[in-house]
Every structure is written in C-alpha cells, then in structure tokens.
C-alpha cells in the first residue's frame, strides 16, 4: 500500500449507498461496495455504519477477528484528512493515524468527564441512603 489518497469527510459522506459504499474506520477509508453481499454481519449494518459518518465504534464494538481486520486491507482506498477519533475509540484504538497527524487535538471532552465523576458519586449517595433507610428507619417501623 503506497501512499493513500487523502479524502475529506464531505467526500466520504457522498458514498453511503448500496452501489457505492465507503466506510471510515480509524481514520482510514474502505470501499466495501463489492463486499456488502459477502459481509457475514449483513449489508444493512455496513450501510448504516457508512451513513453514520464514522464506522469505527460500530466496527470495534463487534469485536471482529484478526482475519476480518486483515481482510480490510483489500478494501482500503484512502485516509481522511485531519481525522479525530470518536470518543469511545480514543483509548484503545491501536492503529490511530498519528503518522500524518498535524497537532492532533487530544480527546478533550469536559462534559464526558463530568458525567464520569458525577455518576459514581450519585450511586454512592443512593447506596448510603438505601443502607440508612434499611438499617434504621425500616427496622424502627417494625418495633
């Protein structure tokens, strides 16, 4: 695979039909038009992932085998300019496209970390209130 064609997000979004279907996975673009019918997971999921703009999460959530990953190479047609990985893929995506990266903006998302901290705290408060109720209030009622 020599140098990959640089494609823009708007260009990729023009190829989401059954006759012309591209997938964006980890910053790389795959033309899966000829693979649609052969995909073991069915063509609908591929068309849906294509239309969603970024298929990285969908692809990784399935937990594809290594043979599936090596199959992808034959459909590779290019890479996307200025790719920023989606939230769920940031931590573990092993093949993050850092090669041609121009000062990648990190996985900054203050709202996500807010929820990350707030949720456990709320769960703890709820657990404490439940424990308090069951230990004191509820047993008092019986007496």
**Which residues here bind ligand HEM, judged by CB under 6 A?**
23, 30, 32, 39-41, 45-46, 49, 55, 58-59, 62, 64-65, 67-68, 71-72, 75
Q: State the nearest-atom distance from the C-beta of 58 to ligand HEM, in Å.
A: 4
Q: Which of 29, 137, 126, 134 is nearest to 83 (CA)?
A: 29
Residue closer to ligand HEM (CB basis): 19 or 140: 19
Neighbouring residues of 100: CB distance < 8 A, sequence distance ≥ 6 = 79
Do 81 and 12 contact (CB within 8 A), yes or no? no
Q: State the nearest-atom distance from the C-beta of 3 to ligand HEM, in Å.
A: 20
- For the record, the structure tokens of 49 come out as 């992932």
What is the C-alpha separation between 89 and 26, in angstroms, rounded?
Answer: 8
Q: Give φ, ψ of 51 to 5 degrees.
A: -70, -25
Residue closer to ligand HEM (CB basis): 30 or 83: 30
Q: State the nearest-atom distance from the C-beta of 84 to ligand HEM, in Å.
A: 18
Residue closer to ligand HEM (CB basis): 48 or 138: 48
């Amino acid at each position: 695979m020599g140098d990959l064609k640089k494609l823009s997000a708007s260009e990729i979004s023009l190829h989401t039909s059954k006759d012309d279907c591209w997938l964006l996975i980890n910053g790389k673009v795959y033309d899966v038009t000829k693979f649609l019918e052969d995909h073991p997971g069915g063509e609908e999921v591929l068309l849906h992932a294509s239309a969603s703009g970024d298929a990285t999460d969908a692809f990784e959530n399935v937990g594809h085998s290594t043979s599936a990953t090596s199959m992808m190479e034959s459909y590779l047609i290019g890479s996307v300019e200025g790719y920023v990985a989606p939230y769920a893929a940031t931590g573990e995506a092993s093949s993050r496209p850092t090669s041609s990266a121009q000062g990648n903006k990190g996985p900054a998302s203050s709202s996500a970390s807010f929820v990350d901290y707030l949720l456990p705290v709320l769960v703890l408060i709820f657990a404490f209130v439940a424990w308090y109720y069951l230990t004191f209030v509820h047993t008092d009622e019986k007496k």
